[in-house]
Amino acid sequence: MKTKIKGPKDFWAGVMFIAFGVFFVIWALTHYQMGTAVRMGPAYFPAVLGGLLAFLGTLVLLESFVMRGGALTLPFNIVDMAVALAIFAVVMYLAKVFGASMDYAILAATAIVSVLTVLLRPQAKALVLISAACVVYGYLMKPLGLVLATAALVFIGAFGGHEFKWKEVAILFVVLIVFSILVFVKGLTLPFPVCPAFMETCPIR
Partner 1 sequence: MEILNNLILGFGVAVTPINLLYALIGVMLGTLIGVLPGIGPVATIAMLLPITFNLNPIAALIMLAGIYYGAQYGGSTTAILVNLPGESASVVTCIDGYQMARQGRAGPALATAAIGSFFAGCVATLIIAVAAPPLAEVALKFGPAEYFSLMVLGLVAATVLAHGSLIKAIAMVVFGLLLGIIGTDVNSGVLRFTFDVPELSDGIGFVVVAMGMFGTAEIIANLEQGEKREVFTAKVGRLMPTKEDFKRAWPAVLRGTALGSFLGILPGGGALLSSFGAYTVEKKLSKYPEQFGKGAIEGVAGPEAANNAGAQTSFIPMLTLGIPGNAVMALMIGALMIQGIAPGPQVMNEKPQLFWGLIASMWVGNAFLVILNLPLIGMWIKLLTVPYRYLYPAILVFMSIGVFSLSNNPFDVLIMAIFGVIGYICVKLECEPAPMILGFILGPLMEENLRRAMLLSRGDPTTFVTKPISAGFIIASVILLVIVALPAIRKKREEAFVEQKT
Contacts of 3 (CB under 8 A, 6+ apart): 65
Distances (CA, A) of 92 to 103, 138, 156: 9, 17, 22
Under the binding rule (CB under 8 A), the answer on residue 101 touching partner 1 is no
Distance CA 23, CA 19 (A): 6
Distance CA 146, CA 101 (A): 20
Under the binding rule (CB under 8 A), the answer on residue 191 touching partner 1 is yes
CB of 154 to partner 1, least distance (A): 5
Distance CA 95, CA 112 (A): 15
Under the binding rule (CB under 8 A), the answer on residue 196 touching partner 1 is no
Residue placing its CB nearer to partner 1 in the complex, 94 or 134? 134
CB of 1 to partner 1, least distance (A): 26
Tell me, by CB under 8 A, how many residues bind partner 1.
72
Residue placing its CB nearer to partner 1 in the complex, 91 or 153? 153
State which of residues 89, 122, 142, 182 lies at the interface with partner 1 (CB under 8 A): 142
Phi, psi dihedrals of residue 35, rounded to the nearest 5°: 70, -170
Footprint on residues 14-33 left by partner 1 (CB under 8 A): 16-17, 20-21, 24, 27-28, 32-33
State which of residues 126, 170, 194, 195 lies at the interface with partner 1 (CB under 8 A): 126
Residue placing its CB nearer to partner 1 in the complex, 84 or 205? 84
180-196 in b/e form (b: 16+ CB < 10 A) is: bbeeebeeeeeebbbbb
Footprint on residues 60-89 left by partner 1 (CB under 8 A): 60, 63, 69-70, 72-75
Residue placing its CB nearer to partner 1 in the complex, 1 or 13? 13
Q: How large is the angle between the packed helices 8-31 and 44-66, nearest 10 degrees?
A: 160
